[in-house]
Amino acid sequence: MRHQHFEGSIDPMIFENWLVKMEKVFENIRCLVDRKVSMVASVIDGAADNWWTNYRRVHLSDKDGRSYHLGGIS
């Protein structure tokens, strides 16, 4: 199954649609909850990746971010 890349968007529906697709991927591969954030981090690009990198730097003490939730993914 192909991962759904996301580059960021100001349109919340684009993010919501991407999130729904990612949840389907997670269900199909039986992704464990504690692996979802790292998996999502591996398929974001552009502005979304820049946001995640900066968010981790400012807010997370766990540098790999795996124990945290991203958006609606938990």
> Residue 7: what pLDDT?
87
The alpha helices in the chain, defined as continuous H runs, are 12-29, 33-41, 46-59
Task: Give residue 2's pLDDT.
Answer: 61
Check residue 27 and give its pLDDT: 94
- How far, in Å, CA of 2 to CA of 5, rounded? 9
Report pTM: 0.66
**Domain range list for the chain:** 1-74
Measured distance CA(67)–CA(1) in Å, rounded: 25
The CB density around residue 28, as the number of other CB atoms within 10 Å, is 9
User: What pLDDT score does 68 carry?
Assistant: 52
Amino acid 49 reads: D
Our measurement of the distance from residue 41's CA atom to the centroid of its chain's CA atoms, rounded to an integer in Å, reads: 5
pLDDT string in tens for the chain (74-residue length): 466 788 888 889 999 999 999 999 999 999 998 899 888 989 999 999 999 999 988 887 655 555 555 555 54
